[in-house]
Structure 1
Amino acid sequence: MTCSVIWDDTGLPAWGTAPRAAFWVAVEQAGPWGAKAFTQSRLDPAIGAAIEAAALAAGGRALLIRRPIARGEQADRSARQVYLAGGLAGRPWLLAGQVSEPAEVLSLPWGELAGPDAVEVLRRVDWLAPLAEGVLLVCGNSKRDLCCAQRGRPIALELEREHPGRVWECTHTGGHRFAPTGVVLPSGQSLARLTVEVARAALDAADAGRLAPATFGPWHDRGRGHLTPVCAVAEAHVRELTGETDPAALAAVDSGDSTVEVRHSDGRVWTLRLALQDCPEQLAESCGKAAVTARSWSVLAVS
């Protein structure tokens, strides 16, 4: 039995497990991916390692993406698609473009990618342009974890038929135990236990610059990666309570001692007390790995 099926049976929440990222960069790379995809694919490993390191050093995350099509149809194209999502702490923005050589991605102004607007990035990178539509990245890296390909790839294939060119398989996003997983751009919301219906709702909401209520709650919402885990849990809980879909409407402030204040742009304030607790059973967090003490976030009190 795969790790994600076992975790599904426990009913444990996915809150607070989003990968930390102040921005996201996605670069097209067709063909097979190894467990460490940036250095184990058809991409020049030196360039792949440099892109991954540059994103991490600037506080963001880089992913490889490929079109969700039959493996025999996977082939390198002369132009590679690139997406860049930033402004996650305020009004998220999304840029898209194509490069003929992946090394061109290294010319991005990495220090500007987490900024509140894309003006400086657009001024300095002439191959990027604003994208009004949302994009969904679904983890399908089987060499990293079997669950991701077995459970994520069918969803990517079906959604690609409905939204051609806007749904991509991507490399590791963490949280194999919550497969199928995905990342919605531009919001940077990480999703767990995706279904076609939830993925469709997330993509439709992204077109309107919103989050989808269907993604709210501890079963599907891993959180938004620009936040610390404790703040991400608090924000996600308030979104579930209120149904607030505007990414910029809530701000979470860690008051210390696992207490978080969530402020709404309309003046409302919630104070939440949270805890990261050990679970009674030991569970494998990835297929083929030994079981460890599982931990999950709980909301103890809200005022």
Structure 2
Amino acid sequence: MTCSALSAVDEPLEGTAAEVRGWVCLEFTAAWGRDVLDGTALGEELATELSRRADAADVRIMFIRHPGRSEPLTSGHTVLLARTDPDDSWCERVKIDTPFDLLDIDFAVLGGPAPGLGDRVEEPMVLVCAHGKRDQCCAVFGRPVAAELVRSFGEHVWECSHTGGHRFAPSMILLPSGYTYGRLSEADSLEAVESAMSGSVYLPGLRGRSTWTPQGQVSEIAVRQHISCGVDDLSVIDLGAGVSIVEHVDSRRWEVETETSELPPRPPSCGAVPKPVRPVTAKSVRELGSGLLLT
């Protein structure tokens, strides 16, 4: 069985999105290699320096390409810069001549307001993992989803490199929110993107918002399952010890209690050595000030 089939048996999706402050997505149509920063595509020196800078700024560097296109780029590389914090989420599109020009971008800007380095992107960008050299599930299940989405959303859709969590394939990220999805059918993927385009959040298949810790991701989703609200309406304070506070922009607040369990080991990707899985799940949701307990 594939890693995604084994995971689907009993592993929750909530709380499994990559935890990063922002995303740097480089259009790159040549061979990707197993890891975008392993030196295969960009060379050892550039890859090492970009990895160091990304770690320092708490951002994720990814490769992107338009579905079905692998021809060499003749007019430079598109770069998407995205900050996911709901207090001020944004995405900008920058054009660079070569990947070395990424060194001219201070990744620390992803921790603040839009820097104006490129054109502001007003509608969500859609990234679907199709990184076959990293895991077969991403290619087999991701590419058909990307191909279906591009028919409706055109240039807003990109295939991307590893997003974290092969076993949840097909995996999709929406920018700038950082909302990450898994196990979506082509029809569900369309609904998720349509919801994002209208400013709302599609809950089926939602793994979490990359801004938050796993506990915070689970807590936010738990509140969204009880109320209707927009993409950037909720923020999360992770208090630790299984307790988070979720706050709405209208000042309503909820206390969410979570717990961590352990499932039998399973491969994190196809062919890998099985590892234990420790999912985080919500135990209770209590609206502060009202005494209302939602479970």
Q: TM-score, normalised by structure 2?
A: 0.90
Matched residue type, 2:130: G
Distance, in Å, in 2 between the alignment partners of 1:261 and 1:161 is 40
CA deviation after TM superposition for structure 1 residue 293, in Å: 2.3
Aligned partner of 1:241 in structure 2 is 226
Unaligned regions of 5+ residues in structure 2, if any? 287-295
Residue 236 (structure 1) shift: 1.3
Q: Deviations over 1:110-148 (max 9, x none)?
A: 222121x21xx21xx3xx111112111111111111111
Residue 270 (structure 1) aligned to one of 240, 249, 254: 254
Q: Does residue 77 of the first structure (1) align with residue 74 of the second (2)?
A: yes
How far off its partner does 1:203 sit?
2.6
What runs of 5+ residues in structure 1 fail to find an aligned partner?
none
1:86 to 73, 79, 83: 83
Residues 298 and 42 of structure 1, relative CA distance in 2, 3 Å threshold? closer
CA distance in 1, matches of 2:37, 2:156: 22
Query: Is the 2:86–2:234 Cα contact (8 Å) retained in structure 1?
Result: no
Partner AA of 2:267 in structure 1: A
Q: Which residue of 2 aligns with 1:206?
A: 196
Question: Does 2:228 correspond to 1:254?
Answer: no
Cα distance change, pair 211–106 in 1 and its aligned pair in 2 (3 A): farther
2:92 corresponds in structure 1 to: 95
- In the alignment, the residues of structure 1 paired with residue 42 and residue 184 of structure 2 have an alpha-carbon distance, to the nearest angstrom, of 28
TM-score by length of 1: 0.88
> 1:259-298: CA deviations, max 9, x gaps?
111111223221111111012x332221101222222112
Contact 2:265/2:275 (CA < 8 Å) preserved in 1? Answer: yes
The residue that corresponds to 2:63 in the other structure is 64
Question: Which residue of the partner structure matches residue 133 of structure 1?
Answer: 123
Partner in structure 2 of residue 51 of structure 1: 50
Match of 2:36 in 1: 37
Equivalent residue number for residue 224 of structure 1: 209
Of 40-49 and 285-294, the range deviating more from structure 2: 40-49
Of 126, 133, 136, the residue aligned with 1:143 is 133
CA contact (8 A) 1:134 1:204 kept: no
Q: Partners in 2 of 1:111 and 1:94 — Cα distance?
A: 14
- Which residue matches 1:291? 274
